[in-house]
Amino acid sequence: MPHPLPPPRWQRRAEARPQELLEAALTEFVARGYAATRLDEVARRAGVSKGTLYLYYENKAELFKAVVRRALVGNLDEAEARVAGHAGSSRDLLAWMLTEMTRRVSNSELSGIPKLVISEAGNFPEIARFYFDEVIRRGRDIVQGILRRGMDSGEFRPVDPEYAWRVIIAPVMLGILWKHSFMAVDPHGLDFERHLRSHLDLLFDGLSAPGRKRTEETP
């Protein structure tokens, strides 16, 4: 008469482990920040023992870097491809990009990464540089590309492309910070749809009423 085997104390998951560990670590890092994250907790969340972490990552700092790295891989590939494919109007392209970014922010836990990087940039210059090179610089190039195309075609007003891109991106960044820093204390929360609409509206058409635009002030 067979009776059930006791469940195994643990399982070999050599292939799956790294992903699981990074996911657990991402959650903890995002929730608590680097310093306040205890490896004990990461391990527990991943369902392994503390020692197992060290089979895959040399130490806490390396684990952190791995989390950031993984989160960024391939993040901008689609955007770069789409821009290179230059479909339609520059306005639509830019709108698409900002929409896409907002959508990602609102959906995924990965949006915690930028906040983490910002928070820890001082203590992890290496991470800051990596993020700057892999995300910010590439993002800048994409936006600048769209801007230049739009100005060339006459769709956009002449702006300072060296600086305008940051202004254009800023509301998306603010959405990230809102989500991860103030959502919990803001009784109204943040409706990303509406935030995006406001963003696009102001970005393209500005705040000034048409008849009073400075650009049309010339008599």
Partner DNA sequence: TATGAATGAGAGTTCATTCAT
Partner DNA sequence: TATGAATGAACTCTCATTCAT
The contact set with its own copies (CB under 8 A) reads 31-36, 91, 94, 115, 117-123, 125, 128-129, 132, 136, 150, 154-157, 159-160, 162-164, 166-171, 173-174, 177-178, 180-182, 184-186, 190-191, 194-195, 197-199, 201-210, 212-216
- Binding at 205: pick from DNA, its own copies, none (beta carbon under 5-8 Å per type): its own copies
| Nearer of residues 49 and 107 to DNA, judged by Cβ | 49
Selected binder of DNA within 19, 31, 33, 50 (CB under 7 A)? 50
Instruction: Using alpha carbons, list the distances in angstroms from residue 136 to 7, 132, 178.
Output: 48, 5, 19
Instruction: Give the three-state DSSP class for 122.
Output: coil
The whole-angstrom separation of Cα 23 and Cα 43 is: 11
Contact between 80 and 53 under an 8 Å Cβ cutoff? The reply is no
Q: Is the CB of 47 or the CB of 161 nearer to DNA?
A: 47
Task: Say how far apart CA 172 and CA 175 lie, in whole Å.
Answer: 5
What is the C-alpha separation between 180 and 175, in angstroms, rounded? 9
Write the DSSP symbol of residue 7: P
- Contact flag: residue 27 with DNA (CB under 7 A): no
Q: Is 2 helix (H, G, I), strand (E, B) or coil?
A: coil
116 binds DNA (CB under 7 A): no
- Smallest gap from residue 105 Cβ to its own copies (A): 13
**What residues line the site for DNA (CB under 7 A)?**
8-14, 17, 36-40, 48-52, 54-55, 58-61
